[in-house]
C-alpha cells in the first residue's frame, strides 16, 4: 500500500511513478473523494466531541444526584440536547465509513512505485541484464529437454499426472523424485548454515488478511486457488511461501535491534496460471503446484537496499554451487510485480530451450507490504515506523531440477549428479535408467 499522505501531498510524484509502470492514473477522483472525506470527518469528529462532553456532564450530575442534590432538571436538559445530535451524528459516521472504505479500496489497488534505479520500460524486452555467471555447456550431441530426459529415466510421468489431477501437474518417481528432494534440502542447508537464515515451516493455506498483507489480494484473486469452508469463510492455497512467512510479523511492532529477521522456508506453491493458456505447456516449467525454497527478510528501512543485494547473492550462491550458468536481470518498471519497488530475476541456462529462464525473483518491497500488514519497528524512545520487507526464491526447486537434468545430461541420457548434491543421495554420482 502506498502512503496515503504521499497521495495527498505529492500526487504528481505518485502519478509519475505509476506512469513508469505504464499506468496512466487520473488522481482527480481521488482528490474529490479526499476533499469530501476531510469535510465529513472534521464534522463527525466535532459532533462526537460534543456528545462526549455532554455525556461526561451527565455523568457528573448523576454523581451529584446520588449524593442527594436535586439536579434532575439539568440532567433532562442535557439529555434532550444530546438526543438532538443522535441521527445526524449516526448519518455522518456512516457516510464517513463509506468514504474511508472507498479511499481504502482505491489505494489498496495501486501498485508500488518503482525505485529510481529501476530501468525504464513497459515489458520484459526492456529488462536490463546486470551480470552473467558460468558458460553454457557445450554438447557434442543434440541435448534433450527435461521431459525426454525424465521420461527416459522413468522418473517423470506427465501422462499419469494428468490422469490424477489434470494438466500442469507433475508426477516424479525414483531417482528424480529423490534428486528433487535433495535440491530442496541442499538449499535449506546452505541458507541456514552459510547465510544466517532461520528455517521455518508455515501453513500452506492462509486467510484473506494474509493475502492482503503481501499484496495478492484484492487485485489478483483469480491467480489463486481458493478453498471455501462450510462456515462461509475461505482460505487460499499459497502461491509462494512469501505469504505465510512475511505475515509472521503482521500487526506487530518490532524492536529495531531485533532486525533483520531472516527466514527460509520450503513449501509447495499453488498457482492457477489463469491467463497463461498455451504458455509453457510442455514439461514442468509452469505448473499449478511446484516446490520453492523462499528467502524472506524483515529489515530496518535504512538497510533494505543493501539487503536486496545480499539476498540476491544468497540465491545466486545456490546456482554457483550447483554449477548452473545464469544471468542476473533487473526488471524494468513495467515488468515488475504489484508490490515490488525493485526486482532482480535470476535466469538459469536451459540448453534445450537455448535460452535463460527465470528461476528466482528477488524483490525489495520497501514499506509497501509493511503498511498493508501494519508491521512496524521502533528504536528506543522513538516512534514506530514501517519496516521494509524483501523476499526472493532461493530457488524454485522444480525449475532447478529441470536445469540440473538439462545441463548435466550425458549422451546416453543419464545425468551426472552435481557434486554438492551427492551427500544427499548417498554418494550417488549419476542418475541412470
Instruction: Give me the residues that bind RNA (CB under 7 A), please.
Output: 4-5, 38, 41-42, 44-46, 48-49, 51-56, 58-60, 62-63, 79, 82-83, 86, 231, 233, 253, 376, 378, 380-381, 383-384
Between CA 387 and CA 378 the distance in angstroms is: 9
Size of the chain, expressed as the number of residues it contains? 433
The residues that bridge with 387 in the sheet, in sequence order, are: none
- 226-228 β-sheet, strand order: 205-206, 234-237, 226-228
Closer by beta carbon to RNA, 275 or else 381: 381
Closer by beta carbon to RNA, 137 or else 384: 384
Is 358 among the residues known to form the active site?
yes
Between CA 213 and CA 381 the distance in angstroms is: 27
CB of 238 to RNA, least distance (A): 18
Between CA 76 and CA 325 the distance in angstroms is: 84
Is 286 among the residues known to form the active site?
yes
93, 226, 358, 378: the catalytic one is 358
Between CA 182 and CA 291 the distance in angstroms is: 12
CB of 85 to RNA, least distance (A): 8
250, 286, 320, 327: the catalytic one is 286
CB of 166 to RNA, least distance (A): 27
Between CA 342 and CA 330 the distance in angstroms is: 8
Closer by beta carbon to RNA, 154 or else 251: 251
CB of 230 to RNA, least distance (A): 10
CB of 340 to RNA, least distance (A): 22
Between CA 318 and CA 41 the distance in angstroms is: 53
Residues 6+ apart with CB under 8 A from 112: 2, 336, 338, 339, 340, 341, 365, 366, 368
Closer by beta carbon to RNA, 19 or else 79: 79
Q: Are 408 and 417 in contact (CB under 8 A)?
A: yes
CA 114 to chain centre: 16
Nearest to 237, CA basis, from 281, 207, 201 = 207
**Running DSSP on this structure, what letter comes out for residue 285?**
S
Between CA 54 and CA 220 the distance in angstroms is: 48
Closer by beta carbon to RNA, 4 or else 317: 4
Is 55 among the residues known to form the active site?
no
20, 21, 168, 271: the catalytic one is 271
- Supply 70's cell numbers: 436535586
Using CB atoms within 10 Å of the CB of residue 43, give its burial: 0 to 12 exposed, 13 to 18 middle, 19+ buried.
middle
> Could you give the residue numbers annotated as active site?
271, 286, 358, 361, 399
Amino acid at each position: 500500500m502506498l502512503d496515503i499522505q504521499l497521495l495527498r501531498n505529492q500526487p504528481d510524484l505518485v502519478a509519475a511513478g505509476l506512469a513508469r509502470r505504464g499506468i496512466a492514473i487520473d488522481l482527480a477522483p481521488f482528490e474529490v473523494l479526499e476533499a469530501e472525506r476531510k469535510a465529513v470527518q472534521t464534522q463527525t469528529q466535532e459532533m462526537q466531541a460534543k456528545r462526549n462532553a455532554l455525556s461526561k456532564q451527565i455523568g457528573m450530575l448523576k454523581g451529584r444526584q446520588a449524593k442527594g442534590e436535586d439536579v434532575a432538571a439539568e440532567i433532562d436538559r442535557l439529555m434532550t440536547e444530546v438526543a438532538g445530535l443522535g441521527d445526524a451524528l449516526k448519518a455522518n459516521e456512516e457516510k464517513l465509513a463509506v468514504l474511508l472504505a472507498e479511499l481504502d479500496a482505491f489505494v489498496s489497488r495501486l501498485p508500488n512505485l518503482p525505485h529510481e534505479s529501476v530501468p525504464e520500460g513497459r515489458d520484459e524486452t526492456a529488462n536490463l541484464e546486470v551480470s552473467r555467471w558460468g558458460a553454457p555447456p557445450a554438447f557434442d550431441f543434440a541435448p534433450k529437454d527435461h521431459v525426454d530426459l525424465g521420461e527416459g529415466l522413468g522418473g517423470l510421468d506427465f501422462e499419469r499426472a494428468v490422469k490424477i489431477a489434470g494438466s500442469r501437474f507433475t508426477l516424479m518417481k525414483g531417482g528424480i523424485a529423490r534428486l528433487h528432494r535433495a535440491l530442496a534440502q541442499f538449499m535449506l542447508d546452505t541458507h541456514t548454515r552459510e547465510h544466517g537464515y532461520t528455517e521455518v515451516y508455515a501453513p500452506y493455506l492462509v486467510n484473506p488478511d494474509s493475502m492482503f498483507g503481501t499484496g495478492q489480494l484484492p487485485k489478483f484473486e483469480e491467480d489463486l486457488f481458493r478453498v471455501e469452508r462450510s462456515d462461509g469463510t475461505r482460505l487460499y492455497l499459497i502461491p509462494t511461501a512469501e505469504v505465510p512467512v512475511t505475515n509472521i510479523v503482521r500487526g506487530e511492532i518490532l524492536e529495531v535491534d531485533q532486525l533483520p529477521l531472516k527466514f527460509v522456508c520450503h513449501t509447495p506453491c499453488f498457482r492457477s496460471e489463469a491467463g497463461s493458456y498455451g504458455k509453457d505447456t510442455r514439461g514442468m516449467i509452469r505448473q499449478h503446484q511446484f516446490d520453492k525454497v523462499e528467502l524472506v527478510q524483515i529489515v530496518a528501512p535504512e538497510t533494505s537496499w543493501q539487503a536486496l543485494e545480499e539476498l540476491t547473492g544468497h540465491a545466486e550462491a545456490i546456482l554457483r554451487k550447483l554449477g548452473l550458468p545464469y544471468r542476473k536481470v533487473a526488471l524494468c518498471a513495467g515488468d515488475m510485480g504489484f508490490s515490488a519497488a525493485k526486482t532482480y530475476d535470476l535466469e538459469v541456462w536451459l540448453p534445450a530451450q537455448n535460452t535463460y529462464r527465470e528461476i528466482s525473483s528477488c524483490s525489495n518491497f520497501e514499506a509497501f507490504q509493511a503498511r498493508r500488514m501494519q508491521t512496524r519497528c521502533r528504536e528506543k524512545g522513538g516512534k514506530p515506523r514501517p519496516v521494509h520487507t524483501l523476499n526472493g526464491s532461493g530457488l524454485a526447486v522444480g525449475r532447478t531440477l529441470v536445469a540440473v537434468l538439462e545441463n548435466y545430461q550425458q549422451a546416453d541420457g543419464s545425468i551426472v549428479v552435481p557434486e554438492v548434491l551427492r551427500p544427499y543421495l548417498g554418494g550417488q554420482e549419476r542418475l541412470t535408467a
